[in-house]
Structure 1
Amino acid sequence: MTSPALQLGAATAAQPAGRAWDAVRVPRSIGLLALATLGARSGAVIEDDRALYWLVPTGSAAGWDITNTTVLGVGVKVLVPPARRTAGPGPFWRICPGDTWLTDVTALRAAVEDAYRPEAAR
């Protein structure tokens, strides 16, 4: 189930964050490690050639201060791929929206912080 504020059309569309969801942008290499840690706890994830974008509840990532990551909220548009695009080029769904399309920001933060730790510390 998707939110009325997350429209999945036939083409990629720039959609406003900060209404029903914010997005957290994480560099692709770190994002893939974080995704492996999150596993089934992850909601929908958009991927492009440089980053992964998790959709999180609006305002839940306020104060996010992890290096090289960005919270995209009010005033920012996010490129949202069509529902069935699961490969590039361009943005695609690494994890398609389903019943649980938002990711818990506390779990995401822990996974991203863990992904930044040196391999020996994992």
Structure 2
Amino acid sequence: MRNAMWMQGVEWLAAAASDPQACKREWERGAGTVLLEAGRHWDVVSVPRQLGLLALDILWYDPLRTPGPTLVDSAAHRVGFFVPPDPAGNWAGADIRRASKGSWVAVPPPYRSAGSVEWIVPPDGSGTLHPPLTLELALRQANKTLAVLAPVSAD
């Protein structure tokens, strides 16, 4: 069952490549990531790791919904949430970035990490993405929590 989900995830991700077969071969042979263009099948909202992990934890609270594909890059200290292309929402904020058409994202295969980049929630092949409004609200809530937890500066 798990292998079938991974294979569906591979097919779904590879569909974003200009040459899906070459993408899959690179994942099979290589130990790393492939660059996939955002904007066709998905965009990626990238946030600082602490904010992203807290927002993902908030998203897991909904028992009726599994969060969409989510990457973590431990070296860059960032979490990337896969959302529909050109999502509505307010993505402005402290160090929040959106990779969309014309941007490239380093993506490992769903079944293994590649260096510092790994899936927290791998794609299941169904095409499920993070709903933009739900993600935006989780990020706002996480930001509020982090503001409360931030140490008070000594002036």
| Aligned structure 1 segments of 4 or more residues deviating by more than 3 angstroms | 6-9, 118-121
Matched, 1:29 2:40: no
Report how many aligned residue pairs link the two structures. Answer: 120
Which fold has the larger relative contact order, with Cα–Cα distance below 8 Å and residues 6 or more apart in sequence? 1
- Aligned identity (percent) is 29
Matched residue, 1:79: 106
Matched residue, 1:67: 94
CA contact (8 A) 1:61 1:71 kept: no
Matched residue, 2:4: none
Per-residue Cα deviation, 1:52-105 (whole angstroms, up to 9, x for no partner): 1011100114652122111110111001111211x5632111101013531101
Per-residue Cα deviation, 1:26-65 (whole angstroms, up to 9, x for no partner): 1100100000000144100011111110111001146521
Distance 1:37 1:109, change over 3 A: same
Rounded Cα–Cα distance in structure 1 between residues aligned with 2:103 and 2:137: 24
TM-score of the aligned structures, taking structure 1 as reference length: 0.85
Query: Once structures 1 and 2 are overlaid, which stretch shifts more, 29-38 or 94-103?
Result: 94-103
CA contact (8 A) 1:24 1:53 kept: yes
TM-score of the aligned structures, taking structure 2 as reference length: 0.68
Matched, 1:57 2:84: yes
Residue 117 of structure 1: how far off its partner (Å): 0.6
Rounded Cα–Cα distance in structure 2 between residues aligned with 1:25 and 1:66: 11
Gaps of 5+ in 2: 1-7, 150-155
Rounded Cα–Cα distance in structure 2 between residues aligned with 1:109 and 1:78: 21
Rounded Cα–Cα distance in structure 2 between residues aligned with 1:5 and 1:55: 12
Matched residue, 2:16: 5
CA contact (8 A) 1:44 1:54 kept: yes
Matched residue, 1:16: 37
Distance 1:74 1:62, change over 3 A: farther
